[in-house]
Structure formats: C-alpha cells, structure tokens
Structure 1
Amino acid sequence: MSAGRRTLAVATALASVGIAVAVGAVARQSDAEPARVLAVTPADGAALATTPDEVTLQLSTGADPVLSHVTVRDSAGATVNDGRVSTDGQRGLRQPVRLARPGDYSVAYHITFTNGQDDTGVLRFSVGTGVAPRSTGQIPDAITDAADHAHGVDPVGATLLVVDGLVLLAVLVLLLRPARRRRPSGPSTTPTVDPPTQARTGPPASGRRGRTPSEPSRD
C-alpha cells in the first residue's frame, strides 16, 4: 500500500472511531433517566426550633460526592460547612454544618450524578427565630472558589481521552513504519554470460603459412 493510501486509511479509521465514541457518549446520557434532587432537609422555608448539624439531600439516583457541592451560608454570607459532602445511603448526600447562632440560612447545591447529569438549586431556612426565613436577595452559587471547582476528569471525557490516545498511537506506528518493497512473484534467475572467445595470435601450429590453390609452388 502506498504512503498516500495508507494515510487516507488511517485518517478514515480515526474519524470512524471518534464518531463512534461520541455517538456512544451521547446515547449513554440521553438514554439515562432524568436525575434530580427529590427533597432537601431542612426544607425550603422551614423554621427550625433546634440547630441542625447537617443538610441532607434525597436524590432520584446515585451521585458522585467528589463532583457534587452543597454550600450552606448564614445571613451574612459566611459559609458554615463543617467538612465535605458525603454519601447518605445509595441515593442521598449529606453536608455537615456548624450553625453558631440563630438566624436565616441558605443552601445552594450543585449535584453531579453518576449517569453524567447534574442538578442545581437553592433554598432558605431559619433557626431559632420562630418565623420563616426572609428573602434577602439572590443566593450565591454552591461553588465557593476555584479549589472547590476542581472536578478532575469526567468519566466520559476520560474514556474519550484513552480511546483517542490509543488511536493516535496506532496512527504514529503506521506512519513511521517503512513501506515494504514488493518482490517479484516468479523465481529469480541469474543471467548467464558466455565466456568471451579467445583471440588466436601468432603463426599456425605447423609453423608455415598455408597456400591457396592458385598460388604456384616454389619447389
């Protein structure tokens, strides 16, 4: 196969693999059931008499606690999280909190589910005030800073990277491998050369030049 045809074949294979992986990833996410947060405790608008030590979320499917964020803030906007979010059963998450004083609190969450989908939401509750929380404006996002936003590599993205790396390696091997020279199909024969005819030099073996029939005898 010539270098041009080989390059075209490799490029076609690379495009086919990329399309197949992309279609598979899209189908994986589209076929999955819609994932969402079913309930949050404390609930939105709740007026609590006692201080909770955690906020829990009930989910429709499993979630990744490393890629999920739940941020609880007091009325001044300070974060009152007491540790990282963790799983609570097969379909739940829990965020420990430390509430120092009565007042209104807000919860913002950004949940990343194991099927690749996500869900976000905000809510408010009060503690020790005896009244429902007041709406004091927009609740900040669940992600507080760049360090909390370091999600790492998404599983689907990691799969795509691995596949692309393997295909790229195969392409490099094929392109760097020298093309084999085609050998003739028939058996090879070495042409024979006749030895050159040796030129005769010197007088005849008899030592005398022969006569022609028309030449008279000198005897």
Structure 2
Amino acid sequence: MTGRRRPRTSSLVGGAVALLAVSVVVLAALAGSAPPRLTAATPGDGARLAQAPGTVTLTFSGQLDARDTHASVVDLASGRRINDATRVDGTTVRLPITAARAGEYRTAYHVTLVDGRELTGQLGFAVTAGGGAPDPAAASAPSPGTGSGLHRHGAVDGLSGVLIGVDVLVMAGLLLFALTRRRARRSTGRWAYRP
C-alpha cells in the first residue's frame, strides 16, 4: 500500500518544484524590467536657442499609450500654453509650437507606456532675443534630473520580488505539508496493523 502513496507524494513535490520554477521566472521578469526614461529631447533641458523651435520632440525608452500621454509647452512669463495638440507616435511625443518669442519656456510631460508604467518630468529652454548661437549639446540631450517623477504602477522592485518569492515558497511548503499530512492520517486509520 505504501507504493501507491509515493507517486502521489512525488507528484506533489513535482508540482511544488514546477510552481517554484514558474514563480522564479515571473519574478525575474518583473524585477529585470528597466524603468522607463526620457532618452532624447529637442530642444534639451537648459538649451538656449536663437529662434523658437517649430516643434518640441521627446523620445522615451518604451512604446507610449497615446490615450494616456500628455505634454505641453508653457511660456513662463505669461503662463500660457504655446503648443498645438500633442502627437504621439510609438516612442516619440511631438509638440508643434504655435507662437514663441524671446523668453523662458517649460516643457512638462506625463506619459504612460503600453505596459502601464508612467513617467513624468519637465524640461526648460530659452529663446534669446539677440540671436546667440544655440548650445548644440543642450539642444538634443535630456538633463540627468529629467524624469525624476517616475511612477511604476504594478512593477515589483528587488526587495518586494524577494519577499514575494519567499511567500510563494512558504505557501507551497505549507500546502505540501497539509496535503501529505492529511493523506498520512487517512492511511494510518485505514491500513493500520491490528493484531
């Protein structure tokens, strides 16, 4: 009779091992995903331009959800928005500028990637009155502080991933213990030797 129980126990152990393997793969995928970021901006943060750009372009590290992506360019002196409708194409946001004069401008964005992660940030640039040459380095690169308002809804950080993994292991162990313990009680009651 003990030969019948071993296949069940080994199948439970096999199931627990399979559950553990799947959990490790899922946790590794969640923990290994890179956070979204702004990879390029034209004009870049801190750029000083001789004339106003026709379009502000923001490029991100992942595919954007056009429905939940918002951006605007604001004239800091008047507080007015100076761009037409935001255009989203893949990883790029384009903001056509309607009217800009010499002054300071702020580009603010709140983007949502197709996987649900969000990123917010802002960039500043200036249009000079005298026509000084634009700074080529600042014209296309985001600053290190850009995108500091990172939201990662649904993402798992390293510590949370480890804790979830430990929880899965504990639950699998408790389930295995409960199932084998219940079967042991049943078998002891039915097939116990009675002289």
Q: TM-score category by the smaller chain?
A: 0.3 to 0.5
Q: Considering fraction of residues, name the structure with more strand.
A: 2
TM-score normalized by structure 2? 0.48
Larger radius of gyration: 1
Q: Which has the higher contact order (CA 8 A, sep 6+)?
A: 2
TM-score normalized by structure 1? 0.43
